[in-house]
Amino acid sequence: MAEEKQGARKARKQAICRKAQQQHSHFYERFAHWSFHQSDVVEPIHWHRERWVLAGMAMLITLLSGFIMPAWASAMRPAAVPEAHTVLKLALPKVAEVSAPAPAVDDWQVVRVQPGQTLSDIFTGRGLSMTDLQKVVDASGPAKTALHHIHPGEEFDFLLGSNHVLKGLRFDQDDANRATIRLDGDQPTVSIQPRDMDMREQVAHGVIHSSLYAAGDQAGLDAAMVGKLADLFKYDVDFVQDLREGDSFTVIYDDVYRDGVRYGEGNIVAAEFINQGQRYTAYRFKKAGGDYGWFSEDGRPIQKSFLRIPVDFTRISSTFSSARLHPVLGLMRAHKGVDYAAPTGTPIHAAGDGVIKFKGWMNGYGNFVIIQHSGTISTAYGHMSRFGSERLGQHVTQGQVIGFVGMTGLATGPHLHYEFRVNGTQRNPQTVTLPKPELLPAAQLAKFKSQVVQPQLARLTELDARIKLAKTNAPANNDN
């Protein structure tokens, strides 16, 4: 009996199951292959109704969270100072008008100049006419030049009334002055407000591990300031060949601040550079003429009378020697200069101030230039691909481009053949003792020593002592 009962119950159960399966067969068919386990075979997606609904929901949520809700939220915020450069007209729900009280102050709109933009582009972009632009230019007075030459990144603030009437324009006349033009009075007016420019002295100390730029970066100097530092010591230190790990620098310099915000780098006030144990210094000093220059501790100009190397070279392909095998002639011959290999077209600089004594073709040298400097010294430059614009007899200053690297004459590759001649005899340009620049005149030298060197040297020494103290006090983690 019990068995019969059980059999009947089982049959009933199966019947219910079957019925349910029949009723929901379309569901089972559709989802029977769904699994929580990853299938090796990826089923192609069939877009049934359910999936359309799901996708629709997902899109609605995306739209709500990404677009409609932020728009609504920003509309509810109190009116911010409009710094937007373009205004998109959006069909927003009327909710937007609930808040946003009329701004009490003038509602200037800032427009930043994009590369390639002209002032008329900016005006038309704001819905303004050329007549408006002309009115501004006519009213600009001393600030007119700033309107004629605009640069990417500069900002123009527009004050617009209702119906796109231009009420005012505000912009930088130059680094230190701001111009405001108002067109909403009886007469157009321009007012110039000087900006608050000030210098703030900074100090930095760096130790070279990989490169000068890396050390500068670590010391908090920007690339431009590292460039200025390298420029000061380039006469004494060859930053390509002479730099060693452990070399260090200490520098006191100015940063320029405008209206309390850092605006750029100023000048180096004092600096010392220690290269392979040798100490070099540079101090800024106002000369008798009113110009500033940099001088070493003993009062000689940092800028030497001669550049040791007059070209930005890639390698020295041949040094000065009394006998070498000539690469083209195949003969033993003296090489009375240094060959600096560099790509064709690399600029060649005058090693010092002087006069062009020779410019033309010279056997073996190809295109050749000789500069006569003061006294008995002359320098010579060979194998140029072309000359600079200076004529024969013309005065040139140190660093001026007098020609370009090439391989004219007897040369196997592009390089500069450089000679340093004393009384017409070639000397080794790499080792010859270069004449020292003139000391400051006595009266100036005294002023330089007492007013510049004494106080700044004390500061540099104190800085170095502080850094050394910090090093000895710090846990020994920098002994690598």
- Interacting residues toward Zn ion by CB under 5 A: 337, 339, 417
Which DSSP category does 406 fall into?
A: B
In a 3-state reduction of DSSP, which class is residue 385? coil
- For the record, the structure tokens of 451 come out as 């007013």
Contacts 24+ apart (CB under 8 A), 419-423: 419/336, 419/337, 419/379, 419/380, 419/381, 419/382, 420/306, 420/337, 420/351, 420/377, 420/379, 421/377, 421/378, 421/379, 421/380, 422/376, 422/377, 423/376
Between residues 272 and 339, which has the closer beta carbon with respect to Zn ion? 339
H/E run at residue 318: strand 315-318
Residue sitting closest to Zn ion (CB): 417
**Least distance in angstroms from the C-beta of 385 to Zn ion:** 15
Q: Is the dihedral of CA 117, 122, 127, 131 positive or negative?
A: negative
Which CB, 228 or 417, lies closer to Zn ion? Answer: 417
CB 142 within 8 A of CB 194: no
Structure tokens at 480: 């690598």
- Residue 109 or 319: which CB sits closer to Zn ion? 319
Of the pair 383, 449, the CB lying nearest Zn ion is at 383
Residue 228 is inside which H or E element, if any? Answer: helix 223-233
**What letter does residue 219 receive in the DSSP assignment?**
T
Which C-beta is closer to Zn ion: that of 337 or that of 366?
337
Compare residues 296 and 426 and give the one whose CB is closer to Zn ion: 426
In terms of CB distance, is 170 or 421 closer to Zn ion? 421
**244: three-class secondary structure by DSSP:** coil
- For the bound state, the minimum distance from the C-beta of residue 322 to Zn ion, rounded and expressed in Å, comes to 14
Q: What residue ranges in 130-260 does DSSP mark as E strands?
A: 155-160, 166-174, 177-182, 189-194, 197-207, 248-258
Whichever of 284 and 417 has its CB closer to Zn ion, that residue is 417
Q: If 0-12 CB within 10 Å is exposed, 13-18 middle and 19+ buried, where does residue 218 land?
A: middle
- Centre a 10 Å sphere on the Cβ of residue 246 and count the other Cβ atoms it contains: 11
From 311, 393, 320, 406, select the one nearest 366 (Cα to Cα).
406
- The count of C-alpha atoms lying within 13 angstroms of the C-alpha of 282, restricted to the half-sphere facing its C-beta, is 28
In the complex, minimum distance from the CB of residue 417 to Zn ion, in angstroms, rounded to a whole number: 3
Instruction: Give strand ranges (E) for 76-164.
Output: 108-112, 155-160
Measured CA to CA, the distance from residue 472 to residue 74 in angstroms comes to: 55
* Nearer to Zn ion (CB atom), residue 299 or residue 429: 429
Locate 211 and state its tokens. 């490169």
Strands of 175-236, DSSP E: 177-182, 189-194, 197-207
Cβ at position 361, least distance to Zn ion in Å? 16
